């Protein structure tokens, strides 16, 4: 990633966005004094271009675009090690959640991330079938992400072990599941949920 | 025949690790004159000292040698113990087998042999020791306090409240010092003036305090308990007794545009002035350099309008002499400036910040005056160049401090906290503005200090950027700040309206000259040195002189006040006795040999050598010889080394003793 010079002013520091993150995650990014404990314990930090502490630092400076352009938030495994160990009670896992949600709403400025796509397809499957239909998830993901042959050779093995089913089976209480989805959608519109 | 007791200390393992102490004790026991010899784990401990006392009585010892650490460390301890054991304390000597032997050697065999030699030398020396009676000197129970900032004020009030007279000398026309310049103080944000001015008034009204403002120390003579201090009262050109402080002279003075130093030169004053309206004493001073009368011989308006006729153009500098028993030095600090420094100066300026030529780059104290309700802007934060309210303000910490290249490697201690305070003051006054702080480390050790710093970030919305600024330059009406954020790892650029630099705390100008007058030591930055960094932090090595406040090193207000009270307590301890006992290590003149050349008088640093006439019974002058005043003598031995006829000897360090030591080798 190219390291662009940061020009800081009241205009370039988008603190409104940061406030949104703070409300959604119910935590304060200002509290962080950059001790680095979150990054020290993060199992995914080696895959991130911005380790967790830097994500918070960029938020403090209102530089959210730099975060959403990258893949850090999608690599977060939500293990909550950072939140558990933070000496300043910064709930970093919630911040990551909030950032993912805001990135989703903005239709993901992160083009690299297939995680977002995978999540979307995952939920679509649940909504349609009431449970996961892995075969369809894998097929649609490969098509939509343009990597048609990705993990193809794993298919037969998984089929043989019974981990992958050829045909889907529907949940009987599909209408109940639909209720959950529509309720969340309504709450989202009102801004009551992530 | 002497009966010498030798005590070898293990010093835990400090000595016994490299020196075979038992062997030393056994070897030393064979020396002629040694009646007793032993080793012990900690001689300085209570059981160790008791062993010493008991052995003196049991073995009827006449002299004692303690082989342990440096005499600087424990000579006093052991001499006291020897005295308690019934001997004259000066019949005890220490052999230094720690600093001079065990700490600097590794080989046990060689170190042990050296230790035996060292102890043997001291055994020979102690045989020649004489009984020295203690010298008592009278104590003048008056104190001098130099510097009228918060440290001086606190010390003066504490000593005076105890009932002793205090003379407070201040260089500026008013007391108050730097604290009077501050707007609000961390970490409680109480107004500096509100807590300072009542104390200033207390000083002025205290019956035991004599205040000399606009005065300097000219000469210091004497010694602990008996100092004679010459104070120069600079010509104020206003009679302090007549002036009522009405201030008419100041309103009528035609010279109105002189930069006021108290307002960091951003406010203006007249030629006859008080530095600030709450000044104590409220007596104006004429600035002779800028006064029309002194420049051209015309004008004299102030004299004409002065009702009580207090203005006196003829006034001259006056010297007064005061006798005091103790001196508290509280001369405070000065601030580093980024301006270009003269060639060859160890301290350098900041060329990358424009050497102070960018008008909107100011220092922390100037910001204090801008934020102060009694300041030149009435408490509005307006930038110096065009009087605009800055919307983007950048603070930069560690300017000069912790910058070895600039000549200062220490931390100025107060800047982290006052910068946090500045961001708060700014946020309170400019609601739509944004403060940025470039910092390396935030050092906030102190009660409620870290909470205060975090508050400036979490509640008062200051943006702290860890990383330093490499360059500042003017671009249009903005100052461009080029820095970096090392947490993100990118360069940062801010176009600021104003930049405030947290410049380093340095000693007052001329601190070294005053130290030379007082005979106290100072470090390479000219901060005054305490006698012991941990155990004697408010005393100078020179007896009777105490330190308070930032003249010793950067300090904040609570620390300064504590140290001032501590210094006052030390002065009161000194004043609690009518007579002072001092060490009888002084020089004596052998009058038979003295030829009266007075070479000793020339070299004496203490002024202790006097001329003494020797007359016969009929009163005929036989000869003039040197006489050393034991009350004044510092016991340095310079006269002994200088005397061409070997007629001066320093008690405790006589030639006889030194020769005995050499012969023992």
Residues of chain A where predicted confidence (pLDDT) is lower than 70:
1-2, 107-113, 194
CB contact under 8 A, A6 and B392: no
Between strands B165-169 and B215-223, the pairing is unpaired
Best interface-test mutation with B: which of A1, A8, A28, A60 has the largest number of B CBs within 10 A?
A8
What residue numbers bound the domain in which B477 lies? 335-506
**Which chain B residues touch A54 with a CB distance below 8 Å?**
487-489
Other Cβ atoms less than 10 A from the Cβ of B20: the count is 19
Q: Into how many domains does chain B fold?
A: 4
B149 and B296 in a single domain? The answer is yes
Is A6 part of any domain? no
Instruction: Give the relative orientation of helices B557-575 and B150-161 as an angle to the nearest 10 degrees.
Output: 30
Say if residue B357 is in the same domain as residue B376.
yes
- Closest of B131, B72, B132, B73 to residue B586, by C-alpha: B132
In a domain, B135, yes or no: no
Q: Is A6–B491 a contact, with Cβ atoms under 8 angstroms apart? A: yes
Number of structural domains (chain A) is: 2
Maximum Cα interatomic distance, chain B, rounded to a whole number of Å = 95
Judge whether A7 lies within some domain.
no
Q: What is the CATH number of the domain that holds B558?
A: 3.50.50.60
A54 inside domain:
yes
Please indicate, yes or no, if residue B630 is contained in any of the structural domains.
Answer: yes
Q: Is residue B134 part of a domain?
A: no
Task: Tell me whether residue A65 is in a domain.
Answer: yes
Calculate how close chain B gets to A193, using CA atoms only, in Å: 26
Chain pair A-B, CB pairs under 8 angstroms? 56
pLDDT tens digits, residue range B147-181?
Answer: 999 999 999 999 999 999 999 999 999 999 999 99
Question: How would DSSP label each residue in B562-600?
Answer: HHHHHHHHHHHHHHTSSEEEE----EEE-TTT-----HH
Interface contact flag, A34 B487, Cβ < 8 Å:
yes
Which of B483, B506, B529 is the C-terminal boundary of a domain? B506
Task: State which residues form the domain around A24.
Answer: 15-105
Considering only CA atoms, which of B366, B348, B250, B361 is closest in space to residue B301?
A: B250
Tell whether B373 and B424 lie within a shared domain. yes
Q: Which of A63, A79, A105 is the last residue of a domain?
A: A105
B450 touches A at CB < 8 Å: no
CA distances B236 to B214, B272, B303, Å, are: 7, 10, 13
Instruction: Point out the domain boundary residue: B454, B476, B506.
Output: B506
- Same domain? For B561 and B593 the reply is no
Give the whole-angstrom CA distance, residue B268 versus residue B530.
39
Quote the pLDDT of residue A107: 62
Q: How far is B496 from chain A (nearest CA, A)?
A: 8
Q: Which helix (H) or strand (E) holds B188?
A: none
> With a cut of 50, which residues of chain B have pLDDT below it?
none
Q: Are residues A98 and A122 in the same domain?
A: no
Asked, for residue B137, whether it belongs to a domain, the answer is no
Whether B455 has its CB under 8 Å from any CB of chain A: the answer is: no
A4 assigned to some structural domain = no
CA distance B384 to chain A (A): 21
Quote the pTM value.
0.81
Minimal CA–CA distance to B365: which of B151, B96, B528, B182? Answer: B182
Residue B631 contacts residue B223 (beta carbons within 8 Å): yes
Residue A185 lies in a domain: yes
Do A19 and A101 share a domain, yes or no? Answer: yes
Of A57, A78, A105, at which residue does a domain stop? A105
| Residue in A closest to B492 by C-alpha | A6
A12 has a chain B CB within 8 A of its CB = no
Q: Give dist(CA B382, CA A160) in Å, integer.
A: 78
Please state, in angstroms and rounded to a whole number, the distance separating the CA atoms of residues A51 and B30: 74
Taking the Cβ of residue B301 and every Cβ of chain A, the question of whether any pair is shorter than 8 Å is answered with no
> Could you tell me which residues come within 8 angstroms of residue A145 by beta carbon, excluding any fewer than 6 positions away?
A114, A117
Task: Please state the ipTM of this predicted complex.
Answer: 0.76
Do A123 and A142 belong together in one domain? yes
Residue A133 lies in a domain: yes
Please give the Cα distance from B610 to B51 (Å, whole number): 44
Cα–Cα distance for residue pair B260/B197, rounded to 1 Å: 19
Q: How many Å apart are CA A38 and CA A54, to the nearest integer?
A: 10
| B101-108: long-range contacts, CB 8 A cutoff, minimum separation 24 | B101/B15, B101/B18, B101/B19, B102/B11, B102/B14, B102/B15, B102/B16, B102/B17, B102/B18, B102/B19, B103/B14, B105/B18, B106/B18, B107/B18, B108/B18, B108/B19, B108/B20
pLDDT of residue A144: 86
Query: Nearest 10 degrees: CA dihedral of B186, B191, B195, B196?
Result: 90
Q: Does one domain contain both B419 and B486?
A: yes
pLDDT confidence of residue A118: 84
Beta bridge mates, B485:
B490
Cβ separation B493–A60 shorter than 8 A = no
Nearest CA in chain B to A88: B454
Average pLDDT value over all residues in chain A:
87
Integer Cα distance of A143 and A150 in angstroms = 10
Q: Which residue has the tokens 């600021």?
A: B496
Shortest distance between the Cα of B488 and any Cα of chain A, in A, equals 6
Same domain, B100 and B162: no
| Nearest Cβ partner for B488 among A30, A33, A57 | A57
Domain-located, residue B136: no
Give the end of a domain, one of A105, A129, A164: A105
Are residues B260 and B269 in contact, defined by beta-carbon separation less than 8 angstroms? yes
Mark whether A89 and A19 lie in a shared domain.
yes
Residue A119 lies in a domain: yes
CA gap B90, B383 in Å, rounded? 68
Please tell me the predicted confidence (pLDDT) of residue B580: 87
3-state secondary structure of B351: helix
Separation in Å, CA of B482 to nearest CA in chain A: 9
By the 10 Å C-beta count (0-12 exposed, 13-18 middle, 19+ buried), B569 is classed as middle
Residues 87-106 of A with CB under 8 A from B: none
Q: Which residues of A touch B487 (CB under 8 A)?
A: 34, 53-54, 57
Instruction: Judge whether B263 and B375 are in contact, CB under 8 Å.
Output: yes
């Amino acid at each position: 990633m190219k390291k662009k010079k940061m020009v800081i002013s009241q205009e370039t520091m988008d603190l409104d966005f940061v406030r949104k993150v703070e409300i959604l995650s119910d935590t304060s990014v200002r509290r962080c004094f950059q001790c680095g404990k979150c990054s020290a314990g993060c199992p995914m930090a080696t895959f991130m271009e911005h380790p967790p502490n830097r994500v918070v630092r960029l938020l403090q400076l209102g530089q959210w675009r730099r975060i959403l352009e990258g893949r850090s938030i999608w690599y977060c495994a939500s293990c909550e090690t950072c939140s558990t160990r933070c000496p300043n009670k910064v709930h970093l896992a919630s911040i990551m959640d909030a950032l993912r949600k805001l990135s989703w709403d903005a239709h993901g400025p992160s083009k690299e991330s297939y995680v977002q796509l995978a999540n979307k397809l995952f939920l679509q499957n649940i909504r349609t079938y009431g449970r996961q239909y892995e075969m369809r998830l894998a097929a649609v993901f490969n098509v939509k992400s343009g990597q048609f042959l990705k993990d193809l050779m794993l298919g037969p093995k998984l089929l043989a072990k019974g981990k992958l089913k050829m045909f889907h089976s529907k949940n009987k209480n599909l209408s109940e599941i639909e209720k959950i989805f529509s309720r969340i959608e309504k709450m989202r519109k009102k801004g009551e949920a992530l | 025949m002497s009966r010498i007791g030798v005590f070898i200390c293990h010093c835990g393992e400090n000595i016994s690790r490299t020196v075979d102490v038992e062997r030393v004790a056994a070897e030393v026991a064979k020396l002629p004159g040694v009646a007793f010899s032993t080793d012990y784990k900690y001689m300085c401990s209570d059981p160790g000292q008791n062993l010493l006392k008991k052995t003196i009585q049991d073995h009827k010892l006449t002299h004692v040698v303690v082989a342990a650490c440096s005499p600087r460390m424990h000579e006093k301890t052991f001499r006291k113990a020897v005295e308690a054991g019934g001997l004259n304390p000066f019949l005890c000597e220490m052999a230094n087998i720690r600093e001079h032997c065990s700490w600097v050697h590794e080989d046990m065999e060689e170190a042990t042999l050296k230790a035996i030699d060292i102890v043997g030398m001291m055994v020979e020396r102690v045989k020649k020791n004489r009984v020295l009676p203690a010298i008592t000197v009278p104590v003048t129970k008056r104190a001098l306090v130099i510097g009228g900032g918060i440290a001086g004020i606190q010390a003066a009030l504490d000593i005076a409240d105890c009932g002793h007279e205090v003379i407070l000398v201040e260089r500026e026309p008013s007391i108050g010092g730097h604290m009077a310049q501050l707007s609000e103080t961390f970490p409680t944000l109480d107004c500096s003036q509100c807590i300072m001015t009542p104390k200033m008034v207390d000083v002025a009204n205290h019956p035991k305090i004599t205040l000399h403002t606009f005065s300097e120390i000219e000469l210091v003579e004497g010694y602990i308990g008996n100092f004679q201090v010459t104070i120069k009262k600079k010509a104020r050109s206003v009679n302090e007794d007549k002036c009522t402080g009405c201030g008419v002279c100041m309103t009528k003075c035609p010279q109105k545009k002189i930069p006021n130093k108290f307002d960091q030169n951003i406010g203006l004053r007249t030629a006859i002035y008080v530095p600030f309206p709450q000044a104590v004493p409220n007596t104006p001073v004429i600035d002779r350099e800028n006064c029309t009368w002194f420049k051209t011989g015309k004008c004299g308006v102030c004299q004409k309008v002065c009702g009580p006729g207090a203005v006196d153009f003829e006034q001259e500098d006056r010297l007064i002499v005061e006798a005091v028993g103790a001196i508290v030095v509280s001369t405070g600090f000065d601030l580093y400036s980024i301006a270009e420094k003269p060639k060859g100066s160890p301290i350098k300026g900041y060329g990358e910040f424009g050497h102070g030529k960018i008008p909107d780059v100011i220092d922390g104290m100037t910001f204090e005056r801008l934020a102060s309700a009694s300041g030149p802007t009435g408490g509005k934060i307006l930038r110096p160049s065009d009087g605009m309210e800055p919307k983007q303000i950048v603070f930069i910490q560690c300017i000069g401090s912790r910058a070895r290249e600039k000549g200062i490697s220490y931390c100025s201690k107060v800047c982290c906290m006052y910068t946090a305070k500045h961001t708060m003051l700014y946020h309170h006054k400019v609601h739509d503005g944004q403060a940025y702080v470039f910092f390396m480390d935030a050092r906030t050790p102190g009660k409620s200090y870290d909470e205060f710093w975090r508050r400036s970030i979490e509640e008062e919305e200051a943006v702290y950027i860890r990383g330093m600024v490499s360059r500042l330059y003017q671009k249009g009406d903005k100052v461009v700040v080029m820095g970096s954020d090392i947490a993100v790892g990118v360069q940062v650029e801010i176009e600021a309206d104003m930049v405030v630099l947290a410049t380093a705390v340095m000693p007052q100008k001329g601190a070294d000259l005053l130290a030379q007058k007082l005979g106290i030591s100072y470090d390479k930055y000219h901060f005054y040195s305490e006698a012991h960094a941990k155990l004697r932090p408010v005393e100078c090595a020179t007896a009777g002189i105490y330190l308070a406040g930032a003249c010793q090193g950067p300090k904040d207000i609570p620390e300064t006040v504590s140290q001032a009270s501590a210094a006052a307590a030390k002065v009161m301890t000194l004043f609690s006795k009518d007579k002072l006992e001092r060490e009888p290590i002084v020089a004596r003149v052998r009058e038979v040999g003295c030829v009266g050349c007075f070479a000793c008088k020339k070299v004496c640093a203490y002024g202790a050598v006097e001329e003494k006439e020797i007359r016969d019974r009929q009163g005929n002058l036989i000869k003039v010889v040197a006489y050393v005043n034991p009350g004044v003598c510092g016991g340095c031995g310079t006269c002994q080394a200088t005397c061409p006829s070997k007629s001066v000897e320093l008690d405790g360090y006589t030639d006889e003793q030194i020769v005995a030591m050499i012969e023992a080798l």
